[in-house]
């Protein structure tokens, strides 16, 4: 299929307010939390990826849907498959809450209608001109195509999508690495840009972030911390908590197979085993205290942020101990 004319996507606005879901007690342990994956991803410092989305050997998470080169990629077009093997150019699209929508003329398509849709991109793999970015001035521009093969509707506001593409040997492969359940799904997030080194999140207009459920950002959504219900600050802290990023610098203090529990201020998740050792309490701008690091490689005094040892948690610590506490985590004692 030839690349069509540039498609301009306009992302619908959405509110960001605190909310909660009636999920009940959830053990937030995942066997792959600390997995070091065999293919590239983003934010790999310390072992837990921010995202696991790749095309070939190129990490890929963000698209500027107005067609600007951004984060080493440029979006160049998309088509929708309709009955009778008819292809229609998508003329406009949007992210609304956690779902994708596509418009052809005045008609809006979403959900299962997007299965088979094909998206054309150009990837810029190397900063060959040395200016610190990956754009059209760099060499090795590679045209690629990804397509949606499945849509899982979680609710009226949330869906998960499976994107596939070709690898270097022309094999069809998922864009996302599998999560703990084996799913290669991703969640669309509106106007999100993430520093792959530090994990810092910023709002960026006309940007679509495709978050694999096997990475920390997608996992934060599946654990209930949906960015369309949280502030950006709160969502970022959720991803740092998942990665054991105690210093809020992007470094993840965890290892393969490490599980944990989380209790939060939103009444989404809570402890199943209250007697397990306290790990940490997570505030809006940093870890407020730490007792038992998630990885047995470290002791609490070895976790230093800006050269300073973090305070120990008091024996009666709780989410009310610190006024800005968002999460309280425990190490799974097995």
Please tell me the distance from the alpha carbon of residue 48 to that of residue 32, in angstroms, as a whole number. Answer: 9
Q: Which of 38-42, 75-79, 126-130 has the highest mean pLDDT?
A: 75-79
In sequence order, the β-bridge partners of residue 73 are 70, 123
pTM of the shown model: 0.85
DSSP structure class, residue 97: T
pLDDT (tens digit per residue) in 233-258: 999 999 999 999 999 999 999 865 67
State percent of the chain over pLDDT 70.
80
**Where is pLDDT greater, at 333 or 1?**
333
Structure tokens at 243: 């990665």
- The owner of tokens 């070895």 is 302
Residues 110, 100 contacting (CB under 8 angstroms): yes
């Amino acid at each position: 299929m030839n690349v069509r004319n540039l498609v301009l996507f306009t992302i619908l606005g959405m509110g960001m307010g605190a909310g909660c879901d009636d999920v009940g007690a959830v053990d937030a342990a995942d066997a792959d939390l600390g997995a070091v994956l065999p293919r590239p991803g983003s934010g790999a410092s310390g072992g837990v990826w921010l995202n696991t989305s790749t095309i070939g050997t190129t990490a890929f998470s963000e698209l500027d849907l107005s067609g600007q080169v951004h984060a080493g990629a440029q979006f160049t077009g998309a088509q929708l498959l309709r009955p009778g093997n008819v292809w229609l150019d998508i003329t406009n699209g949007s992210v609304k809450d956690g779902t994708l929508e596509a418009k052809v003329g005045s008609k809006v398509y979403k959900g299962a209608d997007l299965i088979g849709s094909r998206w054309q991109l150009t990837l810029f793999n190397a900063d060959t001109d040395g200016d610190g970015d990956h754009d059209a001035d760099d060499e090795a521009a590679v045209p690629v195509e990804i397509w949606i093969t499945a849509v899982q509707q979680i609710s009226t506001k949330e869906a998960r999508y499976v994107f596939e593409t070709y690898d270097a040997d022309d094999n069809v492969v998922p864009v996302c690495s599998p999560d703990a359940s084996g799913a290669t799904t991703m969640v669309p997030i509106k106007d999100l840009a993430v520093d792959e080194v530090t994990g810092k999140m910023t709002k960026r207009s006309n940007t679509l972030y495709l978050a694999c459920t096997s990475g920390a950002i997608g996992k934060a959504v599946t654990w209930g911390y949906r960015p369309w219900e949280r502030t950006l600050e709160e969502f970022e802290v959720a991803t740092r908590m998942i990665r054991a990023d105690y210093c809020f610098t992007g470094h993840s203090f965890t290892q393969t197979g490490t599980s944990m529990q989380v209790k939060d201020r939103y009444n989404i998740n809570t402890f199943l085993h209250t007697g397990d050792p306290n790990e940490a309490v997570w505030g809006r701008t940093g870890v407020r205290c730490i007792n038992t690091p998630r990885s047995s490689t470290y002791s609490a005094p070895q976790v230093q942020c800006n050269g300073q040892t973090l305070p120990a948690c008091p024996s009666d610590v709780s989410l009310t101990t610190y006024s800005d506490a968002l999460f309280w985590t425990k190490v799974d004692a097995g």
